[in-house]
Each structure stands twice: as C-alpha cells, then as structure tokens.
Amino acid sequence: MAKVKECPKCGADISDTYEVAEPDVGIFGSGWYCHTCELVVDDEGDDSDDYDRRADRAEYRNGH
C-alpha cells in the first residue's frame, strides 16, 4: 500500500498529485500539490515544519 501524503497546511490527502521533475519543460523539482491551499510540497523531505516560516515570509512580502 502506498504511503499517504498529507498537505502540511490543511491535512488533505495529496498523494495522487505527485509530479516528477521534468527539466526539459521547466519543472526542476519533484513533489506534491494541494489544490485547496495552492501549496507545493517538495519531495526533498517533509517540509511541514517549514510551512509556518514560509507563510510568515509570504504575508510580510504581501503586506498583510
């Protein structure tokens, strides 16, 4: 049975969204995508610990 991959933000099952890197078309990293959160989760390890820091930086850049 395949491992379930959850979105670190909302907890949705994003296992079926995995895409492999395709450098010839400009996709340089493998990973999953949460359509609900519009969040990319890199395949280089579980980055759920980094989510809050990335969200804080994005809010700061956007002036929120």
Question: Which pLDDT does position 31 carry in this prediction?
Answer: 92
Instruction: Please tell me the distance from the alpha carbon of residue 40 to that of residue 7, in angstroms, as a whole number.
Output: 9
Question: Which pLDDT does position 53 carry in this prediction?
Answer: 45
pLDDT digits (tens, 9 = 90+) for 13-48: 999 999 998 989 988 889 999 999 999 999 875 544
* Residue 5: inside a domain: no
CA-CA distances (angstroms) from residue 10 to 24, 42, 45, 58, 61? Answer: 32, 16, 18, 17, 22
Per the structure, the count of domains in the chain is 1
* Residue 58: inside a domain: yes
**pLDDT beyond 70 at 50:** no
* Residue 8: inside a domain: no
Q: Is the pTM of this model over 0.75?
A: no
Domain that holds residue 27: 15-62
